[in-house]
């Protein structure tokens, strides 16, 4: 049984000679929060606007609750929308801003008042009905935009970079707010962002995009830990990349040779032929850094000596750039309150085989 509430089938969008979205297929399940993630210009906002009815498809079909909506106007799609700039009416009270979408839906005044009150309580801003938007902080205005979107009881909530105008601490708070609210109300939500942390922390499913094409789709752990290509790996965090060649198998591990002659072992074997040229990636957070001479228990493979070339203190993280004996520089991130190593310290790196991922080599 298909539980998808939003479906895109072979959707294409062209702006004159520019191909903004290419052959996009999506199935978004009811009650989930799905994030369209990618850099500026990748097509994610265009997809959101086509679902909303603010842009027409050049080709393909869009379905909401099983109904084709290509020719259905915006106001008849029953969608809640939140934008980066909040789009509140500055001259209207908060009550009138939140009630705006209900006044065109044949809802009685008594029911409007009841729903507005409930929506403001839901976003934790009761009692602000008669203020103007300028009298509220940026975070409070974002909550009002959220209240206005949910008050109409939409089938789908569309959010386009809704937190990007907030400062970092407030963004963290609002991420949790949106995540909790979505879980509490169970509204199917499509969230557009270029921020990997927003995507990873909030999403049930992530669609990573580049140049109008879907690169990978999956849960946060899947796209982070098992990226399908260089772009996805690089966009979702800090990675070390190495060209490599398959040497064979040894003790249940895949043995590879990287371009500088080092040998590494990986637990991830897709049945590649010996001699196959691939790309090996290791996330910086997965590399263990210890002082030279300290023992690393339960392993004899993927151990390399080096010198700390430079370091950066990032609060809860220590970033190290370690130069190995052959001149290779490895980026390692230690999650620690301490910052134990200094420039020119002798250290040893351990790269666990389970964290050595192999992906197709890109031309």
Query: Phi then psi for 199, rounded to 5 degrees?
Result: -65, -50
Which structure tokens are listed for 170? 């407030």
The residue ranking higher by pLDDT, 15 or 163, is: 15
Fold of 238-360: OB fold (Dihydrolipoamide Acetyltransferase, E2P) (2.40.50)
pLDDT of 2 above 80:
no
Query: Phi then psi for 29, rounded to 5 degrees?
Result: -75, 150
- The mean pLDDT value for 135-140 works out to 90
| pLDDT tens sequence across 286-308 | 999 999 988 877 778 999 999 99
Q: With bands split at pLDDT 50, 70 and 90, how would you rate the model's confidence at 362? A: confident
Q: pLDDT at position 35, please?
A: 97
Q: Measured between alpha carbons, how far is 300 from 314 in angstroms, rounded to an integer?
A: 31
Q: Quick check: helix, strand or coil at residue 285?
A: helix
- Tell me, yes or no, if the pTM score tops 0.85: yes
Q: pLDDT at position 276, please?
A: 95
The residue ranking higher by pLDDT, 243 or 174, is: 243
Asked if 31 contacts 186 with a C-beta cutoff of 8 angstroms, the reply is yes
Helices 109-122, 168-185: crossing angle, 10 deg rounding: 130
Is 238-360 in the same CATH topology as 4-234?
A: no
Mean pLDDT of the chain: 92
- The mean pLDDT value for 217-246 works out to 95
Q: How many CB atoms lie within 10 A of CB 277?
A: 13
Q: pLDDT at position 59, please?
A: 97
4-234 CATH choice from 3.30.200.20, 3.40.50.300, 3.40.50.720, 3.40.1640.10: 3.40.50.300
Domain ranges in the chain?
A: 4-234, 238-360
* Residue 72 Cα to chain centre, angstroms: 30
- The mean pLDDT value for 223-234 works out to 95
pLDDT of 258 above 50:
yes
| pLDDT tens sequence across 45-63 | 999 999 999 999 999 999 9
- In the beta sheet, which residues pair with residue 242? 280
Q: pLDDT at position 1, please?
A: 42
Q: With bands split at pLDDT 50, 70 and 90, how would you rate the model's confidence at 17? A: very high
Q: Measured between alpha carbons, how far is 232 from 213 in angstroms, rounded to an integer?
A: 12
Which structure tokens are listed for 27? 């199935």
């Amino acid at each position: 049984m298909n539980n998808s509430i939003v479906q895109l089938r072979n959707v294409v969008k062209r702006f004159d000679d520019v191909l903004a979205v290419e052959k996009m297929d999506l199935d978004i399940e009811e009650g989930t929060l799905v994030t369209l993630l990618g850099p500026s210009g990748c097509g994610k906002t265009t997809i959101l606007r086509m679902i909303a009815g603010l842009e027409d498809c050049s080709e393909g079909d869009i379905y909401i609750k099983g109904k084709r909506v290509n020719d259905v106007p915006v106001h008849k799609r029953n969608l809640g929308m939140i934008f980066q700039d909040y789009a509140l009416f500055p001259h209207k009270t908060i009550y009138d801003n939140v009630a705006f979408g209900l006044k065109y839906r044949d809802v009685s005044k008594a029911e409007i008042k009841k729903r507005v009150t409930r929506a403001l309580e839901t976003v934790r801003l009761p009692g602000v009905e008669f203020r103007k938007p300028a009298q509220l902080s940026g975070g409070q205005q974002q909550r009002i935009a959220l209240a206005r979107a949910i008050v109409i009881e939409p089938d789908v909530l569309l959010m386009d970079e809704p937190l990007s105008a907030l400062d970092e601490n407030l963004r963290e708070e609002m991420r949790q707010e949106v995540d909790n609210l979505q879980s509490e109300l169970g509204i199917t939500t499509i969230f557009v962002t270029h921020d990997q942390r927003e995507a990873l922390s909030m999403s049930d499913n992530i669609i990573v995009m580049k140049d109008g094409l879907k690169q990978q789709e999956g849960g946060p752990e899947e796209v982070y830990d098992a990226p399908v290509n260089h772009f996805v790996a690089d966009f979702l965090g800090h990675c070390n990349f190495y060209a490599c060649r398959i040497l064979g198998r040894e003790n249940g591990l895949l043995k590879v040779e990287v371009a500088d002659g080092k040998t590494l072992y990986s637990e991830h074997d897709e049945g590649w032929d010996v001699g196959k040229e691939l790309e090996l990636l290791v996330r910086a957070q997965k590399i263990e850094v210890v002082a030279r001479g300290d023992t690393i228990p339960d392993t004899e493979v993927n151990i390399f000596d080096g010198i700390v070339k430079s370091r950066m203190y990032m609060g809860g993280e220590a970033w190290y750039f370690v130069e190995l004996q052959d001149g290779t520089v490895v980026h390692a991130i230690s999650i620690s309150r301490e910052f134990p190593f200094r420039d020119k310290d002798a250290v040893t790196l351990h790269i666990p085989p389970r964290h050595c991922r192999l992906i197709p080599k890109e031309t």
